[in-house]
């Protein structure tokens, strides 16, 4: 799912994403289908931008967040990764 946070800087976006990860972890939902995890966890990819100012359109921002999400999963899951691609790239 996507969480849009208008007028939010990197610090607040990181805080919100981290709170989401912690909240899901704190639920202690059993993950019966996973051979490596006892409880359900989530990973997050975060992309920042101001489309009207830095030239990024929504689809680019979603693609960058998706790339960061897959990096979080690759790095071991249950974590967040911030996209730091320069604006316009």
Q: Name residue, tokens 């909240």.
A: 23
Q: Express each pLDDT in 12-29 by its tens digit.
A: 999 999 999 999 999 999
What are the domain boundaries of the chain? 10-82
Contacts of range 64-69, beta carbons closer than 8 Å, 24 or more positions apart: 65/2, 68/44, 69/43, 69/44, 69/45
Q: What angle do CA 73, 74, 76 make, to 5 degrees?
A: 70
Return the pLDDT at 63.
92
Q: Name the pTM for this structure.
A: 0.82
């Amino acid at each position: 799912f996507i969480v849009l946070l208008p007028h939010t800087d990197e610090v607040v976006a990181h805080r919100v994403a981290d709170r989401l990860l912690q909240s899901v972890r704190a639920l202690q939902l059993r993950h019966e289908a996973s051979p490596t995890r006892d409880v359900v966890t989530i990973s997050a990819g975060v992309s920042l931008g101001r489309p009207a100012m830095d030239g990024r359109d929504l689809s680019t921002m979603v693609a960058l967040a998706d790339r960061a999400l897959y990096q979080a999963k690759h790095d071991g899951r249950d974590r967040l990764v911030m996209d730091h691609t320069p604006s316009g790239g």
